[in-house]
Amino acid sequence: MMSRVETLDYSRWDPALAAADASRLTDALESGQVLSLPRLGFRLSAEEERFLSPNWSDGRAKNISYDPRCEALKGASADEPDATALKSLMARYARNAQSIVEHLCPHYQGKIAVGRASLRVIEVAGRRPRSVAKDDARLHIDAFAAQPNQGRRILRVFSNINPDGRPRVWNLGEPFDAMAARFRDRIRTQLPGSAWLLERLGITRSRRTAYDHVMLGLHDSAKADDAYQRDARPERIEFPAGATWIVYTDYVMHAALGGQYLLEQTFHLPVAAMRNEQCAPLRQLERLFQRELA
């Protein structure tokens, strides 16, 4: 199996690309490639390095999260002025992440919506998830029970900021269309009125579309299938300390196996804003199920 990782030599968050190169990289990203930038590191100041400790987690949330839209910090055990310093660090990362995406993929400029950033200070290896569905060491695509995406893409930028030189270890699984075809018959029918009720009760933050229902079913079915997880032949990737990588996590089957200290920024993109919307999970699932899903 050919590698699904394309390595780029850029070391700036605002690289200058020829139009043809930017188009090619956008197409690669949309078709399921991971863009890896081993020389693009995010530097913490000497004062910020104190945040590289599990002690900053509140012990309840999996990650420390920051929403640049409302400047809300969650999951952190930090009072002022530490909370302000954490927000400043994560806001700077959000700006850098948006810059690299819009320079590599200028087609997205003015179209991507900024989501939450996260600081992940807990060691991945050996972590005990609350359920199989929350076990990110199992191959999966991203789909969220409480946060319906309604067809929009989930594009993520990751940076390994481990101070001890340890890599972030991932597995990459089979193509999305093969996985979807494998698990389509295990997805239960969405009950009439259930989307309205979930939103009304505050269980979801917006309406769960048929697309969200199917994506969540694929996510849960793949994670719950022990034989699938055991027999898969994934591509193992080690992202070195100081590296950054970009991937559509709603499309690329992935699993996090090891590593500690990571920054991540999420972006959302409407399907219509893609260069090739036929690559979107929404369009592929509509072809598979032969009906509109969003």
pLDDT in tens, 134-171: 999 999 999 999 999 999 999 999 999 999 999 999 99
- Long-range CB contacts (within 8 A, 24+) of 21-27: 22/103, 22/104, 22/105, 22/106, 22/107, 23/107, 23/275, 25/104, 25/105, 26/104, 26/105, 26/107, 26/108, 26/275, 27/275, 27/276
Residue 31, classed as helix, strand or coil, is coil
Model pLDDT for residues 171-207, shown as the tens digit of each residue: 999 999 999 999 999 999 999 999 999 999 999 999 9
The CATH number of 5-289 is 2.60.120
Rounded to an integer, the average pLDDT of 260-267 is 98
Q: Which residues contact 107 (CB under 8 A, 6 or more apart)?
A: 22, 23, 26, 273, 275
Could you give the CA distance from residue 21 to residue 163 in angstroms, rounded to a whole number?
33
Average pLDDT, the chain: 96
The amino acid occupying position 124 is: V
Q: Residue 245's beta-bridge partner residues?
A: 36, 158
pTM listed for this prediction: 0.96
Residue with tokens 């409407």: 270
Whether 46 shows a pLDDT value over 70: the answer reads yes
Model pLDDT for residues 49-72, shown as the tens digit of each residue: 999 999 999 988 889 999 999 999
What is the per-residue pLDDT for 1?
61
Show me where the domains of the chain are located. 5-289
What is the per-residue pLDDT for 126?
84
Q: Which residues contact 68 (CB under 8 A, 6 or more apart)?
A: 90, 91, 94, 114, 116, 117
Residue with tokens 């012990």: 59
